[in-house]
Amino acid sequence: MKKLLLLIVLFITATLQAQEISYGVKAGLNLSYLRIKDNVLVDSKMKSGFHIGGVGEMKVSKLFAIETQLLYSQQNSVLEIKLSAFRQSDSRGSEPVFEEDLEIDYQLGYLNLPILAKIYIIDGFNVFLGPQFCFLVSDKENYDFKNFDYGFMGGLGYQLNSGLFFSANYYYGSSDISNQKIGIKQEVIQISVGYML
């Protein structure tokens, strides 16, 4: 973990020393989802949140750039445990043990650091892809989640000559965020608006 953080700091430092660099801010909507591995009794519902933070872009050429972001991201979700599926047998036949399902509302806050390769296609349109590192900074209900997550982000953007930009991206978590190793991974859709200074 310490080596990874050192590499990230060195990368950001090198980016900031580049000559053709621009800074900006962005904010927007999150639609988050927890992906559960091979569990028919647990389902996840998408829930909304928000993200806000800064953007730094190093222009390598007219068509290619490297972009870093540092965002606070509220990644919420609802897990539905299908308790009504549990049944017991007695003289009257099979009846559910529980009458209702259980819903658990997760409200997680992350500090996200994506490092993106960005290609400008035409007239301000761009595509981007790269790894994202996520550090858990708040867990409202103190559920047993790991402090670190990583995965990949990809998306589309459009930037006006004025500096105003819009983007939509998708994050696919690669690691199990549960300390109980039950196979919970994150997926997040982000819709953003921002401004490059």
Give the residue, 103 or 169, on which the prediction is more confident: 169
Domain membership of residue 9 (yes or no) is no
Tens-digit pLDDT profile for residues 12-24: 665 555 558 899 9
Torsion (CA) 60, 127, 29, 1 in degrees, nearest 10: -60
Residue 171 host element (H or E): strand 164-173
Domain membership of residue 155 (yes or no) is yes
We report the CATH number of the domain holding residue 172 as 2.40.160.20
Residue 6 host element (H or E): helix 2-16
Domain span at 181: 21-83+96-196
Domain membership of residue 175 (yes or no) is yes
Tens-digit pLDDT profile for residues 75-99: 988 777 665 555 555 545 555 555 5
Domain membership of residue 127 (yes or no) is yes
pLDDT at position 23 = 93
pLDDT at position 95 = 57
Residue linked to tokens 């660099």: 21
Domain membership of residue 45 (yes or no) is yes
Domain membership of residue 10 (yes or no) is no
Number of domains in the chain: 1
Distance in angstroms (rounded) separating the CA atoms of residues 8 and 81: 38
Distance in angstroms (rounded) separating the CA atoms of residues 60 and 21: 9
Domain membership of residue 183 (yes or no) is yes
Distance in angstroms (rounded) separating the CA atoms of residues 99 and 159: 52
Tens-digit pLDDT profile for residues 142-154: 777 899 999 999 9
Q: Cβ(190)–Cβ(75) under 8 Å? A: no
pLDDT at position 145 = 85
- Cβ count near 73 (within 10 Å): 24
Domain membership of residue 2 (yes or no) is no
Residue linked to tokens 């590192």: 133
pTM value > 0.85: no
Residue linked to tokens 């608006």: 193
